């Protein structure tokens, strides 16, 4: 496998007046690409989220926080930025997107997927399939455009059955944590218009040729990850069962948004063992610098070894 990184500038010129000089606005996109056999896998940025340290690291016991953050070179003050790395898989005549980003309504620093695809010469019409890891806003809310029409009109949509049932159940908004009620309302709003076309699957199913669903519950009730190809010639799309380097060093510590923290911790430890033992290259939605790397055992814990 070959992993490469490149930087793409995109932009347009705006003419301020007949007498003014043209002002060029340009945006840079760092693209990490993995090629394996007949597959090309791009880590495509939807921008980033911004949190306070108290929210981002709220699951860390207070008496351990300063030492752990310092050891992992993470900020204890200011703004914590969380990258948003979508997986774009090109193989044969298929162009498969894992998750759809945040759309325009979640955070102003997110919702940049269409621009990132444009930098690769791709439009939403080119996407043949969308496979969802789970229904949180930064993974699902980009499903509809500004007019509440499907952003990927030609794509087949795939979501785990339990995850789909959870976010389309009217009772979820009443039973979910109060600080996540907007998550439930937003998911319902976006899934309802396309509900009849969603193709559901179970853990262990082959969603598309060469793509196997792996149940990784805890972060959400039906969270799914995906084994694409083989450990030697493929990638493991992890979604959010681990979201920061803290999860590698301390698999028992999750995030403030874990639906079932105990189950999430069990899933995290089990999956990190598996990925390290099998030698998978992974793509993490919130991991740094494009999120492509490997899981390496580090004593009783693990660490993320970035590639590219």
Instruction: Read off the pLDDT of each residue in 195-209 and give the average, rounded to a whole number.
Output: 97
pLDDT at 26: 56
pTM: 0.92
User: How do strand 198-201 and strand 156-160 relate by DSSP bridges?
Assistant: parallel
- The two most distant CA atoms of the chain are separated, in Å, by 67
Residue with token string 């495509």:
44
3-state per-residue secondary structure call for 161-213: HHHHHHHCCCCHHHHCCHHHHHHHHHHHHHHHHHHHHEEEECCCCEEECCEEE
Label residue 189 exposed, middle or buried (CB < 10 Å: 0-12, 13-18, 19+).
middle
Tokens of 35: 């090629």
% residues pLDDT > 70 (the chain): 93
More confident residue, 66 or 23: 66
Task: Give φ, ψ of 35 to 5 degrees.
Answer: -115, 135
| Confidence band, pLDDT 50/70/90 cuts, at residue 37 | confident
pLDDT at 27: 63
Residue 90 pLDDT greater than 80, yes or no: yes
**Gap between the Cα atoms of 160 and 169, Å rounded:** 14
Instruction: Read off the pLDDT of each residue in 191-212 and give the average, rounded to a whole number.
Output: 96
CATH dotted code for 32-306: 3.60.15.10
| Confidence band, pLDDT 50/70/90 cuts, at residue 30 | confident
**Gap between the Cα atoms of 27 and 34, Å rounded:** 23
123 near 151, Cβ under 8 Å? no
Residue 20 pLDDT greater than 80, yes or no: no
Residue 54 pLDDT greater than 70, yes or no: yes
**Gap between the Cα atoms of 191 and 199, Å rounded:** 12
Instruction: Read off the pLDDT of each residue in 151-166 and give the average, rounded to a whole number.
Output: 97
| Confidence band, pLDDT 50/70/90 cuts, at residue 98 | very high
**Gap between the Cα atoms of 157 and 99, Å rounded:** 10
């Amino acid at each position: 496998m070959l992993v490469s990184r490149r930087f793409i500038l995109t932009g347009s010129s705006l003419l301020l007046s007949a007498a003014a000089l043209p002002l060029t606005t340009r945006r840079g996109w760092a693209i990490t690409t993995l090629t394996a056999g007949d597959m090309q896998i791009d880590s495509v940025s939807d921008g980033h989220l911004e949190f306070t340290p108290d929210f981002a690291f709220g699951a860390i016991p207070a008496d351990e926080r300063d030492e752990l953050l310092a050891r992992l070179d993470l900020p204890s003050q200011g703004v914590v930025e969380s990258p948003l790395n979508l997986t774009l898989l090109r193989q044969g005549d298929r162009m498969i997107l894992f998750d759809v980003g945040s759309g325009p309504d979640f955070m102003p620093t997110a919702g940049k997927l269409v621009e990132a695809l444009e930098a690769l010469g791709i439009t939403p019409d080119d996407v043949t399939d969308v496979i969802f890891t789970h229904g949180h806003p930064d993974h699902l809310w980009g499903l509809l455009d500004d007019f509440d029409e499907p952003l990927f009109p030609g794509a087949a949509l795939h979501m785990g059955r339990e995850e789909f049932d959870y976010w389309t159940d009217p009772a979820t908004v009443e039973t979910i944590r109060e600080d996540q009620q907007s998550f439930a309302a937003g998911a319902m709003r976006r899934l309802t218009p396309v509900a009849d076309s969603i193709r559901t699957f179970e853990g262990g199913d082959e969603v598309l040729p060469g793509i196997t669903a792996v149940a990784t519950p805890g972060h959400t009730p039906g969270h799914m990850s995906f084994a694409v190809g083989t450990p030697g010639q493929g990638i493991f799309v992890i979604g959010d069962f681990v979201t920061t380097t803290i999860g590698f060093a301390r698999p028992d510590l999750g995030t403030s948004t874990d639906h079932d923290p105990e189950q999430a911790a069990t899933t995290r430890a089990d999956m990190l063992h598996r990925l390290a033992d099998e030698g998978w290259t992974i793509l993490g939605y919130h991991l740094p610098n494009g999120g492509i790397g490997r899981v390496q055992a580090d004593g009783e814990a693990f660490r993320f070894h970035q590639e590219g």
